[in-house]
Amino acid sequence: NAGVTQTPKFRVLKTGQSMTLLCAQDMNHEYMYWYRQDPGMGLRLIHYSVGEGTTAKGEVPDGYNVSRLKKQNFLLGLESAAPSQTSVYFCASSPRTGGPGELFFGEGSRLTVL
Amino acid sequence: DQQVKQNSPSLSVQEGRISILNCDYTNSMFDYFLWYKKYPAEGPTFLISISSIKDKNEDGRFTVFLNKSAKHLSLHIVPSQPGDSAVYFCAARGDYKLSFGAGTTVTVRA
């Protein structure tokens, strides 16, 4: 059981280049999220989705776009990368539930923008 | 403005002793609180949670305490083991999403 899979694991970009991070989950979860982790800042929510075809902004959405065309996939796009977007990106998913809403995370994607 | 705060960046504890991690929050509408553990080069993994209507939840060596009036929660690990060395994130749930603290790095000394 793969859980949450992120592609690619590592990427180096030059300023102004574009790229897409792919997140795939095989748990049939309704909700999906993209977070970034920076030293001293913890995990900050970029965008999230509560169902196929829906997306919403999180705390730090500027410079990113997302799409959820299929329930199992959540794509994070950077149209014009900036050095400030150097970070580790985590995708997560959770089921629709009345409980704590535990998130299941991928292993992370380390992005460096030069 | 950060709604979940972990004011201690690091904690060092001797093996076998108790580790106490603290977390404060500002939003009284949060309905669940969770703790996650993260090893280097891995994604965070869920550890334990507590509903806002409870004041304590225990799971093996891990206990979470919630003080709603103070908007404060803590995670107790007893006894601490070398495998507990990791970064611990406090998180709070509101409106389908989790807000995380900055994390506390725990080092368990032999």
Where b means 16+ CB within 10 Å and e means fewer, A51-87 reads eeeebeebbbbeebebebeebbebbbebeebeeebbb
Q: B93 and A101 in contact by Cβ < 8 A?
A: yes
Predicted confidence (pLDDT) per residue in A67-95, tens digit: 999 999 999 999 999 999 999 999 999 98
Interface of A with B (CB under 8 A): 4, 31, 33, 35, 40-45, 48, 50, 58-59, 90, 92, 99-108
Task: Find, in chain A, the residue whose alpha carbon is nearest to that of B7.
Answer: A40
73-92 of B, contacting A, C-beta below 8 A: 89, 91
Written as six digits, the tokens of B23 are: 């977390």
Distance of alpha carbon B9 from alpha carbon A41, whole angstroms: 11
pLDDT of residue B40: 92
Which three-class secondary structure string do you get for B42-99? Answer: CCCEEEEEEECCCCEEEECCEEEEEECCCCEEEEEECCCCHHHCEEEEEEEEECCEEE
Tell me the nearest-neighbour CA distance from A12 into chain B, angstroms. 17
Interface test with A, best of B34, B66, B96 (most A CBs within 10 A): B96
| pLDDT class of A41 with cuts at 50, 70, 90 | confident
Distance of alpha carbon B4 from alpha carbon B25, whole angstroms: 4
Written as six digits, the tokens of A26 are: 């095989």
Tell me the nearest-neighbour CA distance from B10 into chain A, angstroms. 11
Reply yes or no on whether the pLDDT at A1 is more than 90.
no
Reply yes or no on whether the pLDDT at A97 is more than 90.
no
Name the residue among B9, B2, B3 with its Cα closest to residue B88. B9
Reply yes or no on whether the pLDDT at A98 is more than 70.
no
Q: In this complex, is the C-beta atom of B53 within 8 Å of any C-beta atom belonging to chain A?
A: no
Query: Strand pairing of A42-49 and A4-7?
Result: unpaired
Tell me the nearest-neighbour CA distance from B68 into chain A, angstroms. 17
Which residues of chain B fall short of a pLDDT of 50?
Answer: none
Q: A50 and B51 in contact by Cβ < 8 A?
A: no
Residue B33, Cβ density class (10 Å: 0-12 exposed, 13-18 middle, ≥19 buried): buried
pLDDT of residue A40: 84
Tell me the nearest-neighbour CA distance from B59 into chain A, angstroms. 15
Task: Find, in chain A, the residue whose alpha carbon is nearest to that of B47.
Answer: A102
Task: Give the mean pLDDT of A51-76.
Answer: 96
**Residue for token digits 């601490």?**
B80
**Residue for token digits 């500002």?**
B26
Q: State whether residue A85 is helix, strand or coil.
A: helix
Q: A58 and B97 in contact by Cβ < 8 A?
A: yes
Residues of A in contact with B10 (CB under 8 A): none
Distance of alpha carbon A107 from alpha carbon A38, whole angstroms: 15
Predicted confidence (pLDDT) per residue in B42-73, tens digit: 999 999 999 999 999 999 999 999 999 999 99
| pLDDT class of A101 with cuts at 50, 70, 90 | confident
